């Protein structure tokens, strides 16, 4: 009896304790539609208390008839909804890790909101930072294990991260009103609308929203600064390693998206001819896994072209996100907004890490250089003679000594991919802003040797440092290294750089100016770029741990000789993508 009584009492106490936690005022939030969310208590890396509301639906699950359609806003619910864990990631297949696995769910349109439990400043309405992840619009997720609040919520901000549809499920387009496309970007737009409507309930300021992202997430930021649908929904942007001028991010050339949709339909057994309504009806009946698996059949060489399903130019209709090619857009509304934009020093390791460590792939690359390079760099829509001339100019600039590169001599090869995929497009976006007398534009270059590198993720060898790889800066803003680099211990300089970057990013989100109010950091003033040569900040150091190297340096002439080469080459490169296999 005593044992039974004790157990009953213990269960009663646990129930009462849980009931009290559920009814905590700080963990109860009422949304605009009248329904309630019940969040959970978490602590940051430094032990600060925060509230987390996870797996919050912002749109109706895009299933059945809603597949390949624009998102439908979540109408809400009555009563309480528990929001204490991540929702499934959007269904995907990751080509960057060379992953054959398909993971995730179609029912994935959810977001997470993180906010301090108590606010250290007198201002009770906090700046909002909305994160859109990278992954080439093909993979990635906004989940807490990668893009959690552990570092950023040591500061007074509200952080929102979100899933959005990827690959053919998010970007398939028939180039007709049957399926105009850009649904992944429209998912992001729905997130921003949700933030405008609901974020005040979490203590966030709907009039102080900074959208930030990396790679395709960075390009997404610039798309929202272009699309009229996003006007007024964001007030600052941070574009890390991506703009819509990068070749992989540009809208597909007219006809390409429809041909790829036709190819996909044939691959999954929905025919290669016939009217689009019938083919789309068939596609909506197919398992989502079959549609996602078809992504790998769109590649021509290795995993190139890098993004088979990029954004598209839509036919005019009420819900269109993008109807004009970016280079033809007149005075995009986002030009007037403050922008923080930059790259890593060796972006190209996203591709070359695998080339350097998979001998057969490197041999194939070298032996078929003239055929492969146009596919990799997105100029294979030209006639063969034009492709050959472009390839020869690139070869003469980067490989004067010939194709003798390997692990110990890869810099020119990595620079080529860095410039062709990232630096040239970012430079073009800078030129657009500086020519238009746009809002303040702050430029950085991340150039740091840390305890861990993303080149490992892209098939580079562990314990070898090739440079500051694409995505390298993410581990200083988010706890992404906790899952990816479990055996790496951050160095003292890593920790100092993390604190520095968090202060810079949060200061920009708060004021549109990255110069932190924290005087103890003792930094030189970071001025916005206004003309060429571009003044920029170099973040990090590749010096040994014992060296007294600064982590914040103001410099000029950002890769000047290399960007000049691509400016001269640009008239010969595509304004939009097209590929010969289609």
Give tens-digit pLDDT for 405-434.
999 999 999 999 999 999 999 999 999 999
Q: Which of the four pLDDT bands, split at 50, 70 and 90, describes residue 461? A: confident
Q: Calculate the average pLDDT of the chain.
A: 92
For residue 368, the 8-state DSSP code is T
CA 108/CA 450 separation, integer angstroms: 33
- Which pLDDT value is given to residue 122? 64
Sheet with 36-38, strands from edge to edge, namely 28-30, 36-38, 80-82
Full-model pTM: 0.94
Q: Which of the four pLDDT bands, split at 50, 70 and 90, describes residue 438? A: very high
Catalytic option among 74, 347, 456, 535: 347
Q: Are 249 and 231 in contact (CB under 8 A)?
A: no
Rounded CA Rg of the chain? 24
Q: E strands of 300-349, at which residues?
A: 339-344
CA proximity to 470, closest of 359, 386, 344: 344
CA 502/CA 149 separation, integer angstroms: 11
Distance from CA of residue 303 to its chain's centroid? 19
CA 364/CA 385 separation, integer angstroms: 22
Strands 236-240 and 158-162: unpaired
The pair of structure tokens assigned to 247 is 């070749």
Residue-wise burial string across 417-440, b where 16 or more C-beta atoms lie within 10 A, e elsewhere: bbbbbbbbbbbbbbebbbeeebbb
Can you tell me the mean pLDDT for 70-84? 97
Sign of the CA dihedral with 377 first, then 383, 389, and 395 last:
positive
- Residue positions counted in the chain: 582
CA proximity to 291, closest of 56, 579, 58, 62: 62
- Which pLDDT value is given to residue 571? 66
Cβ neighbour number for residue 342 with a 10 Å cutoff: 21
- Which pLDDT value is given to residue 581? 38
- Which pLDDT value is given to residue 182? 98
Comparing 32-41, 107-116, 472-481, 540-549, the range with the smallest average pLDDT is: 540-549
Q: Which residues pair with 552 in a beta bridge?
A: 539
With a cut of 70, say whether residue 485 has pLDDT above it.
Answer: yes
Residue 215 appears among annotated catalytic residues: yes
Q: Which of the four pLDDT bands, split at 50, 70 and 90, describes residue 557? A: confident
CA 326/CA 322 separation, integer angstroms: 9
CA 273/CA 206 separation, integer angstroms: 47
Q: Which residues pair with 238 in a beta bridge?
A: 212, 340
CA 178/CA 260 separation, integer angstroms: 15
Can you tell me the mean pLDDT for 201-210? 97
- Give the residue range(s) of CATH 3.40.50.1820 domains in the chain: 30-337
With a cut of 70, say whether residue 244 has pLDDT above it.
Answer: yes
- Which pLDDT value is given to residue 572? 61
Both ends of the chain: CA-CA distance in Å? Answer: 78
- Which pLDDT value is given to residue 381? 83
The pair of structure tokens assigned to 412 is 């020119």
The pair of structure tokens assigned to 213 is 């992202």
The CATH T-level fold of domain 30-337 is: Rossmann fold (3.40.50)
For residue 531, the 8-state DSSP code is S
Q: Are 55 and 38 in contact (CB under 8 A)?
A: no
Can you tell me the mean pLDDT for 237-254? 95
Q: List, for residues 519-554, the tens digit of each pLDDT value.
A: 778 899 999 999 888 999 999 999 988 788 899 999
Q: List, for residues 253-280, the tens digit of each pLDDT value.
A: 899 999 999 999 999 999 878 899 999 9
Residue 347 appears among annotated catalytic residues: yes
Q: List, for residues 145-204, the tens digit of each pLDDT value.
A: 999 999 999 999 999 999 999 999 999 999 999 999 999 999 999 999 999 999 999 999
CA 24/CA 117 separation, integer angstroms: 12
Residue 56's φ and ψ, nearest 5 degrees, are: -90, 120
Work out the percent of the chain whose per-residue pLDDT is above 90.
82
The residue written with tokens 């100092």 in the block is 496
Q: Which of the four pLDDT bands, split at 50, 70 and 90, describes residue 580? A: very low
- Which pLDDT value is given to residue 574? 53
Q: Which of the four pLDDT bands, split at 50, 70 and 90, describes residue 236? A: very high
CA 364/CA 351 separation, integer angstroms: 14
- Which pLDDT value is given to residue 97? 86
CA proximity to 163, closest of 205, 107, 233: 107
With a cut of 50, say whether residue 448 has pLDDT above it.
Answer: yes
Catalytic option among 144, 161, 173, 215: 215
CA 559/CA 109 separation, integer angstroms: 39
Cβ neighbour number for residue 564 with a 10 Å cutoff: 12
- Which pLDDT value is given to residue 208? 98
């Amino acid at each position: 009896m005593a044992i039974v009584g004790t157990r009953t009492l213990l269960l009663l106490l646990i129930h009462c304790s849980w009931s009290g936690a559920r009814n905590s005022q700080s963990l109860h939030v009422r949304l605009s539609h009248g329904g309630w969310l019940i969040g959970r208590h978490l602590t940051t890396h430094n032990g600060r208390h925060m509230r987390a509301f996870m797996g919050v639906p912002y749109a109706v699950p895009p299933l059945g008839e809603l597949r390949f359609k624009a998102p439908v806003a979540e109408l809400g619910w009555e009563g309480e909804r528990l929001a204490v864990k991540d929702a499934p990631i959007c269904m995907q297949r990751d080509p960057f890790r060379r992953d054959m696995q398909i993971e995730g769910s179609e029912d994935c349109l959810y977001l997470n909101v993180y906010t301090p439990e108590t606010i250290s400043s007198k201002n009770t309405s906090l700046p909002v930072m909305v994160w859109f992840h990278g992954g080439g619009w093909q993979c990635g997720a906004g989940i807490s294990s990668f893009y959690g609040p552990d570092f950023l919520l040591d500061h007074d901000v509200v952080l929102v991260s979100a899933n959005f549809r990827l690959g053919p499920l998010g970007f398939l387009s028939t180039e007709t009103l049957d399926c105009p496309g850009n649904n992944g970007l429209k998912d992001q737009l729905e997130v921003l609308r949700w933030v405008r409507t609901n974020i005040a309930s979490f203590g966030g300021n709907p009039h102080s929203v900074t959208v930030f992202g990396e790679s395709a997430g960075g390009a997404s930021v610039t798309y929202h600064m272009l699309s009229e649908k996003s006007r007024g929904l964001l007030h600052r942007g941070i574009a890390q390693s991506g703009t819509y001028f990068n070749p992989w991010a540009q809208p597909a050339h007219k006809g390409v998206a429809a041909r790829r949709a036709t190819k996909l339909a044939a691959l999954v057994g929905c025919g290669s001819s016939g009217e689009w309504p019938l083919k789309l009806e068939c596609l909506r009946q197919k398992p989502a896994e079959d549609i996602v698996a078809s992504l790998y059949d769109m590649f021509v060489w290795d995993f190139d072209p890098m993004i088979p399903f990029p954004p598209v130019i839509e036919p005019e209709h009420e819900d269109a996100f993008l109807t004009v090619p970016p280079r033809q857009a007149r005075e995009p509304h986002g030009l007037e907004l403050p922008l923080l934009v930059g790259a890593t020093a060796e972006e190209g390791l996203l591709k070359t890490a695998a080339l350097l460590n998979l001998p057969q792939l490197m041999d194939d690359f070298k032996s078929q250089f003239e055929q492969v390079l146009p596919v990799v760099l997105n100029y294979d829509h030209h006639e063969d003679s034009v492709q050959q001339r472009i390839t020869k100019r690139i070869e003469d600039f980067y490989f004067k000594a010939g194709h003798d590169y390997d692990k110990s001599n890869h810099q020119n090869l990595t620079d080529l991919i860095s410039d062709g995929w990232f630096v040239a497009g970012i430079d073009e976006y800078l030129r657009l802003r500086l020519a238009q007398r746009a809002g303040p534009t702050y430029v950085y270059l991340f150039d740091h040797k840390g305890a861990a590198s993303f080149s490992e993720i892209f098939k580079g060898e562990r314990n070898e440092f090739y440079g500051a790889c694409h995505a390298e800066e993410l581990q200083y803003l988010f706890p992404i290294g906790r899952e990816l680099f479990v055996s790496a211990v951050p160095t003292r300089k890593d920790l100092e750089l993390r604190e520095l970057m968090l202060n810079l990013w949060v200061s920009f989100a708060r004021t549109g100016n990255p110069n932190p109010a924290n005087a103890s950091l003792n930094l030189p003033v970071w001025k916005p770029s206004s003309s060429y040569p571009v003044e920029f900040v170099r973040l990090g150091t590749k010096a040994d741990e014992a060296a007294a190297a600064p982590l914040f340096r103001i410099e000029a002439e950002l890769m000047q000789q290399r960007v000049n080469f691509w400016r001269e080459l640009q008239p010969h490169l595509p304004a939009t993508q097209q590929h010969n296999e289609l």
